[in-house]
Amino acid sequence: MSRRDRRRSGPALTVPEPLLDALARLHGPLEAPETVARLARGVAALQAGLTQDRARFSGGHYLERADLRAAYQSYYLCANAPKLWPALDRLADALPEPFAVLELGGGPGTGVAGVGLWARARGRTVRHHLTDHRSANLAAARDLAQALGLPLRTSALDLTAPSYEGPPADLVLMMNVINELPPSADAGLAALLDRAVAPRGVALALEPAAATPSRRALALRDALVAAGWHPRFPCPHAQACPTLAVGDWCH
């Protein structure tokens, strides 16, 4: 085995059948040519806008469009939801039974599917509260949760000026949202997490493995460390991130 093969070897993350079945009920049978063509057009537009030309989405958020929301749920959600499972496995002993989740900027339900299916497979009970500042995302997440048979509470929350007053959660989850927030939001996020994370709870953030979103997430990490938070992983030290000091990044 080559050195590269060794580095890439690891457990395979697959999309569970219940999620595929739920998406088929929401967006049409995934084996139907017309469904495939419609979703493929949406995925192509998303990929171009998210990786090549962000300016094409500058006139309004892409998830406000029903066609792009369906494409996001059918492709990006399936790619991102399984990324939660290794992290949740590492945190399992720290989460009580049942455990409460507060998701910040939850979009159309990636975290709902990821946490809910993980908990179901392990016989755990989860109370999931998803927040987002776009009503279209809240509705899409509720539809997905219903199709999966998962309980879900939703409410509106703007992370650029958060004013959450709900009960603290055992797990506060942020997925692919930090990179869309300006650095000026970090102080408000730190204050929000102080209120929203239970005394023995944890905050978990997952961002795209690319230079710009990684540097943005590491900047938030440093802001939280400065505010008195202690990282658990991937780097369990409460000092400034050395990669940012040299203008580098990691994932």
CA dihedral 158, 164, 169, 174 (to 10 degrees): 20
Q: How many CA atoms, within 13 angstroms, populate the side-chain half-sphere of residue 128?
A: 30
Q: What percent of the chain has pLDDT over 90?
A: 64
For 148-182, b/e burial (b = at least 16 CB within 10 A) is bebebebeebebeebebeeebbbbbbbbbbbeebe
More confident residue, 251 or 173: 173
Q: Of 90, 75, 81, 110, nearest to 13 (Cα)?
A: 81
Which one-letter amino acid corresponds to residue 109? G
% of the chain exceeding 70 in pLDDT: 92
What's the mean pLDDT in 91-95?
Answer: 95
Model confidence at 31, in pLDDT bands (50, 70, 90)? confident
Query: Would you say 230 and 238 are in contact if contact means Cβ atoms under 8 Å apart?
Result: yes
Q: Per-residue pLDDT for 10 more than 60?
A: no
Separation CA 65–CA 56 (nearest Å):
13
* pLDDT at residue 191, as a whole number: 93
6 — pLDDT class (breaks 50, 70, 90): very low
* 125 pLDDT above the threshold of 70: yes
